[in-house]
Structure 1
Amino acid sequence: MPARTPNLLQRIGYICGRTLPTEYSDWVLNDLTGPGATRRYLVRMLVPIVLVLLLFLLVPGPLWMGASMMALLLLPLIYFTVALTYVFRRNRLVGHGLDPALADADVRRRAAIERAAYEKRHGRA
């Protein structure tokens, strides 16, 4: 049976931080840890803020002034959004009743492959 996907209203609620019912656990797991999860997270966090920050371009004066005011807010926002990706994923997994260790399962899998290759290269396998 394929994983159920939430409808439009449920997705909007999910993006805004609501918890989905347990029948969507597979979809949530794929959304938070599957391919493209980091890209989806960054788009969901940054696009709405950038749309609001574009209002700075309406400030009277030279264009560079509005753009620099945007940059003063946007650059730290991007930095902290990227830095807190892992924390956000773990929090969302816990909120949906899933194991928070799944947030870095891909990293651990790649580390195990790299470790096995290292041991094979150096005659420890």
Structure 2
Amino acid sequence: MSSTPSPTQKIGYICGRRLPDSMREWVRADVTGPGSTRRYLMRMLLPAIPVLLLFLLIPGPVWMGLAMMALLYLPLIYFTVALMYVFQRARLVKHGLDPALAGGRPSARAESERLAYERRHGRG
């Protein structure tokens, strides 16, 4: 079996389907590897834009349609970023991977900051 998904498998994966076990390493790299945040945000935020553009068809000034778009898109951005960790964990669990892999980079950074703090203040 292939270790990378086909285009149809990738579309299914983006929509929430589970990939075969042979692609676990690809899923791990997709969810936690370099560029994972950018991919996540693109997958969640870009599909909403064509739907929101329909507000420009409402009769009235253009700024009114843009304001309605902003009223929906700004909270979408906020909640998408806020729930990224939850989404990563769910995707990892769904594919049989350790959910502790999600958010590994911030905890490594926090650990290095803690060690630097302890060295500065005579605890290390």
TM-score (normalised: structure 2): 0.92
- Between the two proteins, what is the percent identity of the paired residues? 67
Are 2:69 and 1:70 aligned? yes
Give, as a single letter, the amino acid of the residue that structure 2 aligns with 1:4: S
Partner secondary structure for residue 80 of structure 2: helix
Residue 66 of structure 1, CA deviation: 0.9
Match of 2:11 in 1: 12
Q: Which amino acid aligns with 1:54?
A: L
2: distance between equivalents of 1:108 and 1:73? 32
- Unmatched tracts of structure 1, length 5 or more: none
TM-score, normalised to structure 1's length? 0.92
1:5-47 per-residue CA deviation (whole Å, 9 max, x = no partner) reads 1111111110011011111111111111111111111110110
Task: Confirm or deny that 1:43 pairs with 2:42.
Answer: yes
Count of residue correspondences: 123
Task: Please give the alpha-carbon distance, in whole angstroms, between the structure 1 residues aligned to 2:103 and 2:38.
Answer: 16
1:1-125 matches, cutoff 5 A: 4-125=3-124
Q: SS in structure 1 opposite 2:59?
A: coil
Please give the secondary structure, in 2, of the residue aligned with 1:80. helix
Q: Distance in 1 between matches of 2:78 and 2:115?
A: 33
Query: In the aligned structure 1, how far is the partner of 2:70 from the partner of 2:106?
Result: 32
Q: Distance in 2 between matches of 1:19 and 1:11?
A: 10
Can you give the 5+ residue segments of structure 2 that lack an aligned partner in the other structure? Answer: none
